Amino acid sequence: MAKQKMTKKGRTTRRPTKAELAQQERIKSLLFRFLVVIFLLFAASKLGVFGMTAYNLFRLLVGSAAYVFIGALLTYAIFSKIITQREGMVSGFWLVFTGILLEYQAYFDLSYKGKDLLNHTFKLALSDLSAFQVKEFLGGGLIGGGLYLPVSFLFAAIGTFFIGALLILFGLFFMSPWSVYDVADGLALLREKSQERAVIRAEKRAEKAAEKERLKAEEEARRLEEAAQELEAAQEEAIALAQVEYPTFDVETGEILDEEEHEILILTEEREPFFEGEEFPVLLAEDEVEEQEVADDVTEDIALDFKPKAKPAYKLPSIDLFAPIKVKSQANEKKIVRQNIKVLEDTFASFGIKVVVERAEIGPSVTKYEVKPAVGVRVNRISNLADDLALALAAKDVRIEAPIPGKSMVGIEVPNSEVTMVPFRELWEQAKTSPTKLLDIPLGKAVNGSVRSFDLARMPHLLVAGSTGSGKSVAVNGIIASILMKAGPDQVKFMMIDPKMVELSVYNDIPHLLIPVVTNPRKAARALQKVVDEMEKRYELFSHLGVRNLEGYNTKVADFNRSSEEKQIPLPLIVVIVDELADLMMVASKEVEDAIIRLGQKARAAGIHMILATQRPSVDVISGLIKANVPSRIAFAVSSGTDSRTILDENGAEKLLGRGDMLFKPIDENHPVRLQGSFISDDDVEAIVSFIKNQAEADYDKSFDPGEVTEGDFESGTGDSNGDPLFEEARALVVETQKASASMIQRRLSVGFNRATRLMEELEAAGVIGPAEGTKPRKVLENQ
């Protein structure tokens, strides 16, 4: 019960509640602010003796800056709640006001030549105060004079002006809604824009120089053509003059002689002809054609499976073919990062783990926080908090890299609120790959914003795997476009296999293709075998010439061409692209796997490289032998950690975001790198393909044509009307050994059980062996 107090009349009174006390305090505060506002209004307007005296008292303290001080106090008295909510507003004002006092006092010191500045200021203020007037300039008053004396002693009067200006600028900055991070981001953005403008200006200058060179070359070609035409006209005119039969006159009579006499005169004249022999210009051109044909024949004899014809000069595609895409700003991400740093540290502290967030790198799709744990903190304690951190950060998923390779820190990758696209054009312009490395391909941007490229010649083969819609096909298109941007048809050749029929068919009829895009899985297995045959032929050629790889062979060809009139053709690189490996493995697993394994083991030195893509990263598609021979891998988003381990031999891909978010594990690194792949649209692909088709026509190589295939060519088939191609071999084997069993045929002819069983049925139908008699072996009815 509340304590009660008895009055003289016997009535009791109660103590006010907290709400009532708070209400009373608010009323007192409001009344006090009202009186202060009235006082400041009188002082500001200098009404009467009271207003003039109040204003001069302010002038005594802050000098001629009294109007600024009164205005600031008036604003604070009215809007105190709003002002206190803005961090840095009050401190910023005091910095600005201090700078103003220093500026006023420095100006006042320059106009006063005496020594005792404070005493002089005090006397002038008292004179105005006693006379109820505002007449003298008082600088910064007593407060300004007290601040000015040490500053002027250290920096002199001129330096004080500079110090005051700095204080005003810093104060205005603190009062503004911007932070130091915002200013740094703005300066970085300005620098990027200036660099972009510089790059654009450099490109324009380069374009103008190239245009001048082109015009100069065209003018030179036109001049040479005109000179050639003039020379040809002069030669024709000379020939015509030599063949004209002029009428002959008799010198004495002036009469024209008849034809017989004219012929006699010509025969009896001893005059050298204008041209000796046959028509010189025509014979010279024919001789050149014959020489060229001989040289071409020699080249065709030396070349191995590649017989390119004479073609016009090939012009590489320009990056201007790709439409520029405006990238979203990540200014909002920077604000979120500053908030997440505090959330991370608080979350770790709540679990008893002391960490410090050293830095944060904002990438296109994720932000990587580099966390340094305290001494004695086990790494797996941090790794086990992935779900708790995702909950605290309200993130879709969190991937923890513990530890970061080469650093004593743990990486925490948190998805951005918005994924920033990485256009292919931007990536290509920033990559600046070497034009001599034809297979050096920009793949994507790392978390720190740097462009990551890889040289397919060093990989030497690449496995790309991920679920549907994760970005595999876009990545493959980006790799193909990168190669087409740098290599001509005589430098790199493609063999493309696309069982889905829709991903790579757009590249049909480009001159870089060895054969049209293969869409039949059975033909694809045969086409891979053709590539294996080409590899073996190349190694035979290398052995004959005493070189170890394609580079050594092409170097010898170049040396030979410089010293000989008979030209040889260098061998191109071959890139085999399989867009859906799982479909091929379902149809002809043994043939496809054997071809891939052989190419993976030996094709690097022969200049043959593979890019295998699949959306079903299971062990029956990506076998252990394939993984062993395709060491470089790219993993896109997958559904489970099992699929991630199948691709990368470790978890991580199940936490990717999709849409080009990938883990890239090259042959020379032990840990995968997270990248955001480049985006290349269908319009961009069609633009570069159309440009290339206009440059040259497709020239397919018939030696790589898989031809027509039948069911009987593969183990999983059921045969056709013409029988199995191995029938004669099986027949010879059975007749020679006088034994007939499916297991023997399977072992001796290296075929599957289904095919061996089918061969046994064909042998029975042909009367070579007898029917099955239970567990007894079949009788061989045919003798040698």
Binding site residues, as ranges?
A: 466-473
> What token pair was written down for 55?
């204003």
- Convert 451-484 into a string of H (helix), E (strand) and C (coil): EEEEECCCCCCEEEECCCCCCHHHHHHHHHHHHH
- In DSSP terms, 675 is beta-bridged to 446, 662
How many other C-beta atoms are found inside a 10 Å radius of the C-beta of residue 253?
Answer: 8
β-pairing verdict for 399-401 and 410-415: antiparallel
Token duo for residue 704: 């790589």
How many Cα atoms sit within 13 Å of 536 on the Cβ side? Answer: 8
Distance CA 666, CA 631 (A): 7
* Annotated binding-site positions for ATP: 466-473
Q: Which helix (H) or strand (E) holds 656?
A: none
Calculate the alpha carbon distances from 770 to 103, 718, 766, 780, 781 in Å: 119, 22, 10, 6, 6
Half-sphere exposure of 294 (CA within 13 A, CB side): 8
Token pair, residue 443, equals 């793949």
The answer to whether the beta carbons of residues 164 and 103 sit under 8 Å apart is yes
Instruction: Residue 25: count other Cβ atoms within 10 Å of its Cβ.
Output: 10
Distance from CA of residue 343 to its chain's centroid?
A: 31
Q: Are strands 12-13 and 492-497 parallel, antiparallel or unpaired?
A: unpaired
Is the CB of residue 545 less than 8 Å from the CB of residue 607? no
Secondary structure tally for the chain: helices H, strands E:
24, 15
> Could you write out the three-class secondary structure of 330-380?
CHHHHHHHHHHHHHHHHHHHHCCCCEEEEEEEECCCEEEEEEEECCCCCHH
The H or E element containing residue 677 is strand 673-677
Name 633's bridge partners. Answer: 463, 665
